[in-house]
Each structure stands twice: as C-alpha cells, then as structure tokens.
Chains A and B, each alone.
Chain A
Amino acid sequence: MNKSELLKSVTRLAKTGKIKKDELLDAFNKGGKGESHFQMSNILYYIGAAIVFMGIVILVGQNWELLNDFTKILVSLGSSVAAFIAAILIGQKVKLKNISLAFFLISMLIMPVGFGVVFDIYHYDIDDLFVQTLISTISLIIAIISLSVLKNNIFLIFTIIFGTWFFFAFSDFLFEDSLVIDEEDFWNYRMLALGLSYLFVGYSLMKDKQNILSNFLFAFGNLFFLGAALFLGGWEPDQNILWEIIFPGLAFGIIFLSTYLKRLVFLIIGSGALIIYIFKITSEYFTDSLGWPLSLVIIGLSLIAVGYLFVHLNKKYIKA
C-alpha cells in the first residue's frame, strides 16, 4: 500500500467512524519521534526568555522610585501584553513558531508581576492573602483561556503553576482567621493533595507520548505526596503512628505504579522515599535499644534489599 492509498483508507475509515483522531495520532507517534518541544534551540529560546524576564524585573526594580504610576504599569503589565501580542504575531509564521513560545513565556512570567504592580499602585497590600488570591485567580483564568484558544503546552504549564498558587493562596485566605487544625499539618495535607493531583493530571497527559510535562508532574507529584506523608509521620515524641505505619505502603504503592506505568521516576522516588523512611525509623526507635552499630547493620541490609528491588523492577518491567 503506498502513501496515497493509505491516506485514502484513513479518510474512508474516518468517514465511517471506524477510526478516531486520537488512535491515528497514537499510531503516528509510535512510529516516529515527532517534534520534541525540548530541542537545543528551544532550550536556548526559553533561557533567553527567562533572561529577558530577569532584565525587566531588575530594570524596573532599580528605577522604581524614578517611575511614575503609569510608567510602572506600562513596563510591567504593558510588557506582558506586548510580549503576548508579539508572540501571536510571530507565531503566524510556521518557521518562527518556537520563538513565539519564548515570547509567551516572557508574557506569562511578567503577567503576575504586572498585576502585583497595579494592585500596589492602588494601595492594596500585595502580601495580603485576599490580594494574592485575586492575582492568582486572574492569572489562572488568563492561562486557561489562552490554553483553550491557542492550544499550546506552555499555557498548560502556567495553568498548573497559577492553579497551584491559587490553591495555596485561597486555602490560606480561608484558613487565615481560624485555628481549626494545626498550621504545619494543614501545609502537609495540602502538599499531599497537590501531589496526588499532579499524579492524576500527569497520567491524563500520558496519552500524548511527546508530552514531557507528564514526567515533571510525576516527579513533583511523587515528591510532594511522599514528602508530605513522611512529614505527617512527625518525629518522636510527637510522631503520628498512623502515618508512620501507612508510609511504607504508600512508598511500595508508588514503586508498584512504576511497573504499571513503566516510568522510572516512580521507581527512583519511591525507592528514595523508602530509604529515607528506613533511616528515620531506625534512628527514631532502634538506636536507643539496639545501639548505633546494630542499627547501621539493619540500615545497610535494608538498603541492599531496596537496591536489589530497584534493579530488578527496572530491568524486568521498565526497561523491558
């Protein structure tokens, strides 16, 4: 079957509804490497954008006292709008599509700073949690609209960043004048929820094989989730036995997921968390009764076991 015949077959199957767009893209992605967003030139564009962002922030910071209110808004929020418009115009040319991403990056980075400047000029305290909630909400809405209209992964990243910011700002705002639960526990529970949320969102992005973002979400999701669970366990004499008992189950669960999803990041973080847990529990409970030398032997043997598990699972399920 040559190319034109193949395309005709695809058209025929699509008309009759026997093939879906996702299935076709999946098949295509399996065959070729596709276009990665993280080629060398792209990385340089992004680094360039980050440097431009830093330059604008330093320029404004150094001359803050000299600028009047209008100029302050112009150089901050104005730069963001200008970079956004420039990105759309540049993106019209297919060849310059990647450069337009760099301009979108500049725009999204400066946008919250710009809103902060506007609120500051109108005498709002930008450290105030209500103002933080407001700025994060506006930024999040703009990122979501941009994502749905322009369908670009860069907005997906900022939707997640602004969403995370909104989550913390708004929950802090709600919690501000209340003492219902311990502040440290509240922080840990939020990290736990955020970690879980990142894992689910990361999984939903796995269908797009080229989407490197899912790996980042898995990495941060696992770190937040297991990190928070470890901190919730506390330390003797203020430990929380329930979390200390649950923790190895969670770490093994993450290690198991590495075999199911075939992602090394789960195995690395799950094993790392298990090693930290072994150190913690041994030094917390066994150093007094068994003494340090014997505790070190237990730690050493446990590490060998975790190391073996890591190599075995990696070879059998992930690399295979």
Chain B
Amino acid sequence: MKKNNLSLIFGISIPILMIVFVALSIYLPRFFAEPAQHDFLYYVTDTSFASENPESYYTVRKGYIDFINNNPEENFKERSIIFRHDVSENESYEISYEEARYFELDASYESPDGYELVNSWGGDILYFEIGYEELFLKGHNVSTEMNLFNANIYYNQFNFLGWIYE
C-alpha cells in the first residue's frame, strides 16, 4: 500500500477511533453496572411569595419525611410539590405529603447501592436549580441525566429529601 494512502487511512481513522472509544467508554460500563435500585424523593417550592420570615420546609427525621412549619401564614404545603423519581423509568411522579410519609428514606448523598446525584459539572446539588442545570445520577462508571419535573417559573429550587427503601 502506498505511503500516501496509508496516511489518509490513518487521518480518517483517528477521529473515527476516538468516537468509537468514547462510545465504548460511555456505553460499555452500562452493560456491567448494576442498575440503580432506589428511587428518590425531592420537592420544589413556589418561591414567588417568599417572606422574610424563617421559611417552612420539608426534611427527613428518623428516616421519614417531616414538615417544619416555621410560618403558618405562608401556606407552604400548598406552594410545594413533592415528587418521587422512578430511576428505572427515569420519570418523576407527583405525590402527596401523606403518601410520602409512608416511605422510609435515606437522606445521605450516596444511595445504598452506590449512586449519587450530581450537577452538570459532577459537583454537589446543594444549590441545584431545575431548568438552569442538569441533574445526573452517577455511580459505577455510569452517569445518566435525570428527567426532572420542569415547571415554567418559580418552581426551580431542587430540594433532595432522600433515597426510598422498599
């Protein structure tokens, strides 16, 4: 084979091989990694009427969701929506506070099966805002973008509650 042709083949192969390599490094671990087992709970709040007083919020205490009512006038429960994110379907479903109370939760960053939620840069999700960044489920060399509930306005602060034990 001529030197020039060989050089052309090399030239074309390099980007193709890189694409193949990237594809393999992304998709191959998915075949071997255990799929995530634990759904997670989160809530979003309409912050447009937020007062200067201490806000109410949902939290996790002793493994169950709890409502901290700091300001009864602000109608926090009416302004907030709780979601269960089904990791196998990658979809969020709205649930009521009463339904959420039955779930045993693990509020740590990492799920019991070794997955964690990170932002687009792989960083933590303490100040994560829906619609401005993407949320990823990352672990076992695999990462998948989560399709969260996406409201038009005001409901943008993502508040992680915990991983669901079932």
Interface residues of A (CB under 8 A from B): 163, 167, 170-171, 174-183, 186, 189-190, 193-194, 196-207
**CB-defined contacts of B22 to chain A, threshold 8 Å:** 171, 174-175, 186
**CB-defined contacts of B138 to chain A, threshold 8 Å:** 179
Docked Cα-Cα span, A73 to B120, in Å, equals 37
Per-residue 0/1 for B13-53: is the Cβ within 8 Å of any A Cβ (1 yes, 0 no)?
Answer: 01100110011011000000000000000000000000000
The answer to whether B143 touches A179, judged by C-beta atoms less than 8 angstroms apart, is: yes
CB-defined A-B contacts under 8 Å, sample of 25:
A167-B18, A170-B19, A174-B19, A174-B22, A177-B134, A177-B136, A177-B145, A179-B120, A179-B122, A179-B143, A180-B26, A180-B143, A181-B25, A186-B22, A193-B15, A198-B11, A200-B7, A200-B8, A200-B10, A200-B11, A200-B14, A201-B8, A201-B11, A201-B12, A202-B11
**CB-defined contacts of B108 to chain A, threshold 8 Å:** none
The answer to whether B144 touches A204, judged by C-beta atoms less than 8 angstroms apart, is: no
Complex: chain B residue closest to A166, CB-CB: B15
**CB-defined contacts of A181 to chain B, threshold 8 Å:** 25
**CB-defined contacts of A175 to chain B, threshold 8 Å:** 22, 26
The answer to whether A193 touches B14, judged by C-beta atoms less than 8 angstroms apart, is: yes
The answer to whether B118 touches A179, judged by C-beta atoms less than 8 angstroms apart, is: yes
The answer to whether A167 touches B19, judged by C-beta atoms less than 8 angstroms apart, is: yes
The main secondary structure of chain B at its interface with chain A is helix
The answer to whether B26 touches A178, judged by C-beta atoms less than 8 angstroms apart, is: yes
The answer to whether A178 touches B143, judged by C-beta atoms less than 8 angstroms apart, is: yes
The answer to whether B18 touches A193, judged by C-beta atoms less than 8 angstroms apart, is: yes
**B141 interfacial by beta-carbon distance below 8 Å:** yes
Interface residues of B (CB under 8 A from A): 4-5, 7-8, 10-12, 14-15, 18-19, 22-23, 25-26, 118, 120-122, 134, 136, 138, 141, 143-145
- Shortest distance from the beta carbon of B114 to any chain A beta carbon, whole Å: 15
Docked Cα-Cα span, A194 to B12, in Å, equals 9
**CB-defined contacts of B145 to chain A, threshold 8 Å:** 176-177
- Shortest distance from the beta carbon of B35 to any chain A beta carbon, whole Å: 15
The answer to whether B14 touches A196, judged by C-beta atoms less than 8 angstroms apart, is: yes
Docked Cα-Cα span, A204 to B15, in Å, equals 16
The answer to whether B7 touches A203, judged by C-beta atoms less than 8 angstroms apart, is: yes
Complex: chain A residue closest to B144, CB-CB: A177
The answer to whether A180 touches B25, judged by C-beta atoms less than 8 angstroms apart, is: yes
- With known contacts A201-B8, A203-B7, A177–B143 Cβ distance under 8 A: yes
Docked Cα-Cα span, A183 to B138, in Å, equals 15
Most-contacted residue by chain B among A181, A190, A199, A204 (CB, 10 A): A204
- Shortest distance from the beta carbon of A144 to any chain B beta carbon, whole Å: 11
- Shortest distance from the beta carbon of A184 to any chain B beta carbon, whole Å: 10
A179-B143, A180-B141 provided; 6 other pairs, C-beta below 8 A? A179-B120, A179-B138, A183-B121, A197-B15, A198-B11, A204-B7
- With known contacts A178-B143, A179-B136, A193-B14, A204–B19 Cβ distance under 8 A: no
The answer to whether B15 touches A203, judged by C-beta atoms less than 8 angstroms apart, is: no
**CB-defined contacts of A182 to chain B, threshold 8 Å:** 122
Complex: chain B residue closest to A170, CB-CB: B19
Contact among A171, A183, A196, A206 for B19, CB-based, below 8 A? A171
The answer to whether A203 touches B4, judged by C-beta atoms less than 8 angstroms apart, is: yes
Docked Cα-Cα span, A163 to B18, in Å, equals 14
The answer to whether B4 touches A167, judged by C-beta atoms less than 8 angstroms apart, is: no
**CB-defined contacts of A183 to chain B, threshold 8 Å:** 121
**CB-defined contacts of B14 to chain A, threshold 8 Å:** 193, 196-197, 200
- Shortest distance from the beta carbon of A177 to any chain B beta carbon, whole Å: 4
- With known contacts A190-B18, A193-B18, A207-B4, A199–B11 Cβ distance under 8 A: yes
